[in-house]
Amino acid sequence: MWYLKQIQIMSINLINMKKAKIYKPSKTAMQSGIKKFDKWIIEFITDDPGKNPLMGWESSTDTYSELNLEFNSKNLAIEYAIRNNIDFEVIEVNERKITKKSYADNFTR
């Protein structure tokens, strides 16, 4: 019986050692607004994508790849990952550089 408990503990540790990335999504080129991009996301990284034998689509037996968690701040996402023993990597945000443009600049330069 003790070996069954050891196997359960080992499987729990393997689940908790999942690799994830924490990032703030950037807007796509097709969107002009930035309203929906204020959340930080934890996305689990899948190491073993495979091919579905029936349809030929890419698939995986790892259901963590389908899970994205949203947080209001980077610190909340990091605290969640630490509390749940998730190995993570933080991808910092590249801030947008906004230059003021005027229609008159087309003619004065």
Helices (H) and strands (E) in the chain, counts: 3, 6
CA dist 12 and 6 (Å) reads 10
CATH architecture of 14-25+36-95: 2-Layer Sandwich (3.30)
The reported pLDDT for the residue numbered 16 is 47
CA dist 52 and 60 (Å) reads 8
* pLDDT digits (tens), the chain, 109 positions: 554 555 555 445 445 457 899 999 887 777 667 677 789 999 998 777 777 778 888 777 777 878 899 999 999 999 999 999 899 999 998 877 878 888 888 888 6
- Residue spans of the domains in the chain: they are 14-25+36-95
Run of H or E including 79: helix 74-83
CA dist 53 and 89 (Å) reads 33
